[in-house]
Amino acid sequence: MTTRRTGFTLIELLVVIAIIAVLVGLLVPAVQKVREAANRMKCQNNLKQLGLAMHMHHDDLQAFPPSYMNRPDLPSGTFYRWSALAMVTPYLEQTNLYRQLNLGASLYVFTGTAVTPRPENAPWVKLPIPLFICPSDSRATVEADWGPTSYLVDVGSGGTATDGVFYVGAKIRIPDITDGTSNTGMMSESLLGQGVGLTVPRPFDNQRVMAWSTGSTLSDSACGGYTGREDRNGRWADGAPLYTGFDHHYTPNAPLPDCTTRGGGNWKASRSNHSGGVNLLVCDGSVRFTPNGMNQATWRALGTRAGGEVASE
């Protein structure tokens, strides 16, 4: 008697492989969607913690911190430049870091040939702070000797305006926000720069670079060309808008690259890898998801603290 062997034919095997491929194709987008939903919630939670820290600073010192300060009373005081994020570290369960930072001295020193971090602060300002990074951002570092940040303070309408809650030397109190705390932006997210000191050229990315305007004022024509600022958001400790500020000149995730100039301020948008928009923390401590197609007038109204506008939902 002969024994009949059983098994898969080639056609059956190919059918099984095809079915598995279809299932994988269906499952991967679903898994990615769940992961992104979790990342978006984590990002919102990060912003809520930062908002709570800002309010605790306000309760203790009767004002929100400035974007940064000039301190002519200190050596190298024009390079004081400590950011609002650095100022609220003791309210973010970063007390040990706060104790290590010498906030009584300038962030930088001028050596005669270069501006460098003050030596006692250099080991600490390079630390990455997980709370400062949106989990949806694909980058982890921007500059080798600095810790980056995805979360920026709201400086207002852009350029050199001081109509937001955070600007150089600001001491804004809640009563100063006459547009209402629920109608005024406090912080938002923005993508980290492509990185400096690159050994391999990377594709130009409008979302991660800043055009460098050679003129003294910002304009569409002056900002139309890219000449290279890939260090955006690369230093959480530095209060300059290039590193820790954003404004409302452009709507969220605008297709145009951001722009900066020496004398005329910045146009720097809120940007994210979240599908369809960005997270915005407003001054009442709540976080809203604002869509890419948001009305420009409404978006700009959210940037000012006392413009008399009403920012609708």
Of the candidates 213, 74, 86, the residue with the CA atom closest to the CA atom of residue 147 = 86
Count the helices and strands in the chain (H runs, E runs). 6, 10
pLDDT at 225: 60
3-state secondary structure of 109: strand
Residues 6+ apart with CB under 8 A from 232: 142, 190, 191, 192, 193, 208, 209, 210, 242, 243, 258, 268
Q: Name beta bridge partners: 245.
A: 153
Cα(206)–Cα(157) distance, integer angstroms: 20
pLDDT tens digits in sequence order for the chain, 313 residues long: 555 556 667 777 777 788 887 777 776 565 556 677 789 999 999 999 999 999 999 999 999 999 999 998 888 888 999 999 999 999 998 889 999 999 999 999 988 888 899 999 999 999 999 999 999 997 778 998 999 999 999 999 999 899 999 999 999 999 999 999 999 999 999 999 988 765 444 566 778 888 877 666 788 777 776 666 788 899 999 999 999 999 999 999 998 888 888 777 899 999 999 999 999 999 999 999 999 989 999 999 999 999 887 665 5
Residues 6+ apart with CB under 8 A from 252: 188, 269, 270, 271, 272, 277, 278, 290, 291, 292, 294, 299
pLDDT at 202: 57
pLDDT at 120: 93
Buried b (16+ CB within 10 A) or exposed e, 170-181: bebeeeebebeb
| 123 CB neighbour count, 10 Å cutoff | 11
pLDDT at 200: 45
Buried b (16+ CB within 10 A) or exposed e, 15-50: eeeeeeeeeeeeeeeeeeeeeeeebbeebbebbebb
Cα(43)–Cα(131) distance, integer angstroms: 9
